Amino acid sequence: METTIKQLRWKCRRGMKELDTLLLNYLEDCYPRAENKHQQAFLKILDMHDPELWSLLVGRLNSRDKDINDVVTALQHST
């Protein structure tokens, strides 16, 4: 079953306003035109717990998955 944009918007709603903003900005601005591998990485990111995701975004943690790191970089630059 394919995930819809509406479902993804719901998954972008987090416990931190900063995460909400970054995730929703990426979803609206980058996700529709992203390569399939980056769309899949974004879905993995949405399944992460907020502390892990926040650590990735502020540079305290790096993923072993290059595609996730690419999306994290895009998230850091989407404002």
pLDDT digits (tens, 9 = 90+) for 8-63: 999 999 989 999 999 999 999 999 999 999 999 999 999 999 999 999 999 999 99
69-75: list long-range contacts, CB under 8 Å, 24+ apart.
70/38, 70/41, 71/26, 71/34, 71/38, 71/41, 71/42, 71/45, 72/45, 74/26, 74/30, 74/34, 74/38, 75/22, 75/23, 75/26, 75/45
Report the number of distinct structural domains present in the chain: 1
- The pLDDT score that the predictor gives to residue 34 is 96
- The pLDDT score that the predictor gives to residue 3 is 75
Domain that residue 46 falls in: 5-77
pTM across the whole model: 0.91
